[in-house]
Amino acid sequence: MAGPSDPYDRASGLHVPPPLIFAAAVLAGWLLDRAIPGPRPDWLVSGPGAIAGASLVTAGGALAFAGVLNFWRAKTTILPFKTATRFVATGPYRFTRNPMYVGLSTISIGVALLLRDLWTIPLVFVAAAVIDRFVIRGEERHLEARFGDDFRDYKRRVRRWL
């Protein structure tokens, strides 16, 4: 039976679903923009900003969904605080170790552009740093303990973000 210090027990110490962290960054940026309106360059309030935002939301959503789909096919959890039952290195995991987080970051920046809110963009990078420090590092410790040399070799071949 796994105990609290067992590396197989859970992947990370953070028990907040990562999409909520990115949603909090978007909400905080939107609220900040309401309190202190940020700059509105012409490209942001016209067609190019909306096209860029929609494109980023679409691309990020496709990447995140592909990551989730690969986990579902492997019958392993997408929750970072649950024990991984399979090591996934297929699909978008061939190019990034974290396609779901890259996708969520991309979606969040796209939403910021659609909302015409530049305050959110730096907050998305803060959210990504929180994910990196408090989620990904724990996940990687867990995966290394669980899958050993296979995961260590994967880490050498594939970048954490992009």
Q: Range with the lowest mean pLDDT among 35-39, 69-73, 101-105?
A: 35-39
Which pLDDT does position 118 carry in this prediction? 87
- What is the C-alpha to C-alpha distance for residues 84 and 121, in angstroms, rounded to an integer? 31
**Whole-angstrom distance, CA of residue 75 vs CA of residue 162:** 25
At residue 2, the pLDDT reads 44
Identify the residue with better confidence: 147 or 10: 147
- Quick one: average pLDDT of 59-81? 95
b/e for 52-76, b at 16 or more Cβ within 10 A? Answer: bbeebbeebeebbebbeebbeebeb
pLDDT tens digits, 77-128: 998 888 899 999 999 999 999 999 999 999 999 999 998 888 999 999 999 9
Please determine, for residue 10, whether its predicted confidence score (pLDDT) is greater than 90. no
Contact 151, 143 (CB under 8 A): yes
pLDDT at 18: 94
3-state SS string for the chain: CCCCCCCCCCCCCCCCCHHHHHHHHHHHHHHHHHHCCCCCCHHHHCHHHHHHHHHHHHHHHHHHHHHHHHHHHHCCCCCCCCCCCCCCCCHHHHCCCCHHHHHHHHHHHHHHHHCCCCCHHHHHHHHHHHHHHHHHHHHHHHHHHHHHHHHHHHHHHCCCCC
Higher pLDDT pick, 37 / 12 = 37
For residue 1, what pLDDT is reported?
40
- Summary mean pLDDT of the chain: 90
Average pLDDT over residues 42-46: 78
